Amino acid sequence: KTRHSRQESMVAKGCVKKTVPSAGAGGAVRLGRSRGGTARPVLRARTCATLSVSPRGGNLRGLLRVSVPVFGQSCRAPRSTAPTRAVKADDALLEQQLPEHPLLRRGTLSNGLRYVILPNSTPPQRFEAHLEVHVGSVDENERQQGLAHLVEHVTFLGSRKREQLLGTGTRSNAYTDFHHTVFHIHAPNLNSTNGKPMLPQVLSALREIAFEPDLLPSRMEKERRAVLAEMQMMNTIDYRVDVQLLTYLHEENALGCRFPIGLEEQIKQWTREDLVEFHDKWYFPANATLYVVGDFESSDEVEAMVGDTFGDLLPRMGEHSVPASRHDVRPPVKHTYGNLDKHASAYGFGEHLEGEDEGLSVTVPETVKPSIFRHPLLHEFSINMFCKLPVMRVKNLQDLKRSFIGRVVLSVLKFRLNSHFASDEDLKITSFDLDFSDSGREGCTVTTLTVTAEPRHWKEAIQLAVNEVRRMKEFGITKSEFKHYCEALLRDSRQLSEQAGTVPSIDNLDFVMESDALGHVVMDQKQSHEALESVVDTIELEEVNSYARSILSYISDFGSEADLVREGEEARFADDMGPTRATSIVTCIPAYVDKDGGSIATGGSHARGQNSMGQMDHEELEAIMEQGGELPVPEDSGDAFNVPENAVEFNLDATEIADVISEVRSLPLEPVEDFEVPDNLISDKELGELIALSEPAFVPLEGQQRVNSEPDPVTGIVQKKLSNGVAVNYCKTDNEPQAAMIRVVASGGRGVEKPMAAPNGLGSVALGTRALSEVGAIGQWERQQVELFCVSNLIHFVLETTEEFVVLDFHFASTGGGIRAVMEMIHLLLQSPRWDESSLTRAKQAYRAHYSSLGKSLERATLNNALTAMVGQSCCFLDPVPEELDAVTLKGAAEVLMAQLVSRNLEVNVVGDFDEGELEDTILKLLGTLPERSVDWSEWVDHSIEFVRGSLQQNNTKFLLADSDERACAYIIGPAPYRWQDISASGGEAASSSGSDGLGGFMDFLGDAPKERQEHPLFMSVSLSLMAEIINSRLFTTVRDSLGLTYDVSFELQLLDRMKKSWYSVSVTSTPAKIDDALDASLHVLRELTSRRVSQQELDRARRTLLARHETDLKDNSYLIGLLTHLQCGTVPRKDIRCLRELTSVYSAATVADIYEAYNRLGLSDQEIYTCTGVSGESLGEEEAGRQKQLEAAAAIAMASRNGNLFEALRIALENGGGKK
């Protein structure tokens, strides 16, 4: 598993804010990407899931994540010895069965309960216990739609034994999807309150939840309301799109209509008898599997506990007094597949479970008709081309070989599409996704091509993508592509085999559950790598190309499926797959566009973008139970919208779309050129010349007499400085063997943009970082060469900017020359970047698309309105608007960005598994040879950030979004201290402690005197973190549980490091009828800390939570590198090594008085608080619509005036009532 999550450390801003939004998803239905990253949605009734959508741009795309089932392995990119000449494999070798994981223990109790036990030492002293009941939404009948999910709610939340787990360091939750219901518990080995083993208590709770629930009527009514609340909250436009995709992908079976959330009218009508009947039918031992994975010494002991806990449960008897089993009562889902060769052996015809062969009917070669989903809240055109196939089970070496070949094919195609994207000045394709993966929850394999584009470019986007697929199908991959991708994937396999002991238990458990659902053999990472090594040399280039033809023919030959069948062996398809056809095509389009066919905003006023948030779990939903009565979930009365001004309807028909796809076959086609991929970006000769010219050296740190070579005795961190001014911090860890992470940080960021529309004004740094990423070429090397160089060396690079810093993040393989490879990239990016106008154009297009979509997102627009009220229009905290984007030039963007990326403004942080000598030598040669330069801070001055003090009306606004369904959210924003604020008696900004290299002052801090605590650099950061944890606890307890006004409420701090401004925010969701009350209640909780003092118990609980999280996160390199960041940053002078040494001690010493030192510095008066309430509904009242139009006009006039466009401001004013206010 790749663990590249970004978490904010408790000391430094260890994460970089993305410039495109992340979407939070929670509640009953988890809408996300299925295993491996496909664009297909995965619906599961869940209560704690979060969906994060990564930005399309911002990297060199050296890491291509393509999901094809190579089991026991990640989907990252690799290197070793690739096959140059294939070795002929005999059938006996390829038919050899794969070995199962040596530590995996399976068994079945006498009552039919199956169990799987797997020892796993990461994280230490913790375990996962998941009870899977094999029933989901596809098992419901016509009048039970949503009943599986409701039963899950009632059984889980009605368990008293589950409640007894609270406070023991345990986390628990449950979810329901198409094919199963899972109750899962993550627990420590020992109970934190009494020191007893937790496993018996956890297993006992799972037994009660699944097999001995009370199913009380009172609990049922509470959960009925909770489920209806979930249904309303998650019904975003993204969810509605996902429903459409699944409806047409599985239109022939229940997966296309039995969504876990269910139907509102049915949920309202069920009685307790309905729940009991459903539970009795499906919840019995033989229809369940228990998974226990964790850090335990004896599988025998765990197995004995399983038997003791579940062994006496009575089996449910079937016919002839034989215990009932899953497949006796649950018919498999039957699919219509896209395989056109009924004799293809890869699909395992005749080898499936009893009854499944009925679903393996090979279809006739007919052309599928595209389906269209049109909606006003959609912003872009997108098309999803699906080919559904039977699961190709991986049981022997031939199966593993086929899977590996599939990864090569999809990786190369994705690489080629990226190359076209990079050269497309008009940004015909906004984004694309390519996937070929299994889905256990859907019981099939699906190949997916997703293309997104501006509506006016929909034809060109389809043609570009389909023609590239056709090129690969006709000409195959090149020798160079074959060599480098085989090397890369094999190297990745080797690296992962070395990381086998660091994979978290939850990841291994999910992998085992998914593999079992698909019928794959479960291997450990070392077994998988050994098996792969035994077959990779038998792979021939023509064999890879034959699989490419089979996998991709559903796209390349759309409209001529009959010809595919007639081609026979002439087409040279893979012997065990044959040709394929499209099984469904789903097109999603906006209802309206502008006169030029471009995207158009609807729904409300907006100026800039910010991220949205939202999450919900079972406990949060209990809030609804506290209030009587029904939740006002709206009826679906169709989509009724006002047509936006200057908009025209956008309509496509299925025939037109199908014709565009099929007509691609008539376009000219040439094979791709092969090209050289360098072993090194900087040759030994060039490097020698650089060293001779620069004479790089390490120099003593400030205040020291000699060069530091020893790690800090407490933290293990080594700090160095190069003669050209580059600062270096590194820490060796074994979190991810043979892998490391580098973060290069430059002070400045968007804060030094000129605060106006100008060539180097607002948006210039944001556009510059994106444009530089889009180019992909550096030094003498072209984009394709650099990308394959990254693939071969497992380099994943992201260039991003925040308000305060420019950040370059690299994940890479630290062995086999990986350190030199990544340092060469850093050197060339900083010294020889390539700029071109087309990359800037694409960056501007992406920001314009983000801007115009803002008004279609309730959460984003609501947050944006509140933030704009606080900071004003011209501010680096907001995304640039079109007028500012237009003003930025390539010269201006390059100038302001590269002015920051100079040696004396760079801090290089390295965390991972590496050879320290090799790292220091490579840094010296490749980073020490950068020219010595400094930032001219007199020219590049930070924005003067002043929070606007408006009237109460200006500070408290409302956003109204026309939509067919009702939803509501609100945000509260206000000023907060910045992370390193010094409140000690001396006042002002204290310099870095002179004793930072020693341990002096450590014991002084632990004293009772508040002055010593307040002087510590971490005082404000720690106090604010503890305060936030306490406020969040109170918000949930009051607004959610006691008042029942919300499904989700959270308090967050946006803490800055350089700028002496920060802010807090509260987000709350509710129904339109309750959102104002929820907002007022949240504000009351914020302010009541003055009247209801924080207790010592609250502080202790918050402290334990944060310290436990810190200890867990230390096993994550992304978290560790956040701790190192800014240790030698001149613009963050108060952070030094002492902060890391004493972090836990500062938390331990914190007092209630310290909490109030932080709290009293929050802006909480009416003049300092900014709120916005967002409400969506089918139609806006006449008065509200008029007010909304006035708000939009006022915002547009203000923006035009600030940018000097007085004629535009006058035109808008005249069009909206002349001089009327």
Q: Is omega for the bond preceding 123 within 30 degrees of 0, making it cis?
A: yes
Handedness of CA 592, 598, 603, 605 (dihedral sign): negative
Q: List, in sequence order, every residue forming a beta bridge with 190; answer none if it has no partner.
A: 197
* HEC letters along 574-593: CCCCCCECCCEEEEEEECEE
Residues in the chain: 1221
Q: Which residue has the tokens 């409420």?
A: 1049
How far, in Å, are 525, 735, 996 from residue 712 at the CA level?
34, 19, 11
152 catalytically annotated:
yes
Active-site hit among 132, 140, 223, 620: 223
Reading the block at residue 574, the tokens are: 């893979």
How is residue 986 written in tokens? 């001396």
- Enumerate the H helices of 745-857 as residue ranges: 764-775, 783-792, 818-831, 837-853
Nearest to 811 by CA among 912, 885, 725, 714: 912
- Cα–Cα distances in Å, from 1000 out to 335, 723, 1128, 1141? 70, 29, 20, 12
Contact between 120 and 294 under an 8 Å Cβ cutoff? The reply is: yes
- Which of 860, 855, 854, 865 minimizes the C-alpha distance to 1171? 865
1148-1171 burial by CB neighbour count: b if 16+ within 10 A, else e? Answer: ebbeeebbbbbbebbbbeeeebbb
Q: Rounded CA gap, 512 and 497, in Å?
A: 17
Q: How far apart are CA 565 and CA 669, in angstroms?
A: 23
How many beta carbons lie within 10 A of that of residue 317, not counting itself?
11
Give the active site residue among 128, 132, 152, 356. Answer: 152
223 catalytic, yes or no? Answer: yes
The rounded distance, in Å, linking the Cα atoms of 886 and 1198 is 17
The Cα 215–Cα 205 span in angstroms is 15
For residues 971 and 1065, the answer to whether their CB atoms sit within 8 Å is yes
Report the amino acid identity of residue 816. Answer: G
Measure the CA–CA gap between 442 and 44, rounded to whole angstroms: 11
CB-based contact 914:722 (threshold 8 Å): no
Amino acid at 1145: S
What does R_g of the chain's alpha carbons equal in angstroms? 30
CA distances from 586 to 242, 315, 371, 384, 455 (A): 10, 45, 5, 5, 15
User: What's the CA gap between 1101 and 247, in Å, rounded?
Assistant: 46
Sign, CA dihedral 254-255-256-261, equals positive
Q: Is 860 strand, coil or helix?
A: helix
> Can you tell me the distance from the alpha carbon of 704 to that of 698, in angstroms, rounded to the nearest whole number?
13
Distance CA 451, CA 555 (A): 12
Q: Which two tokens stand for residue 1045?
A: 């006004």
Residue type, 347: Y
The 3-state DSSP class for residue 312 equals: coil
What gap in Å lies between CA 519 and CA 1193, rounded to an integer? 60
Please give the Cα distance from 139 to 135 (Å, whole number): 6
For 675, the token pair is: 């090209």
Asked if residues 582 and 554 have their Cβ atoms less than 8 Å apart, the reply is yes
Q: Which DSSP string corresponds to 238-268?
A: HHHHHHHHHHHHTTTSGGGT--TT--HHHHT
Hey, which residues are catalytic here?
A: 152, 223
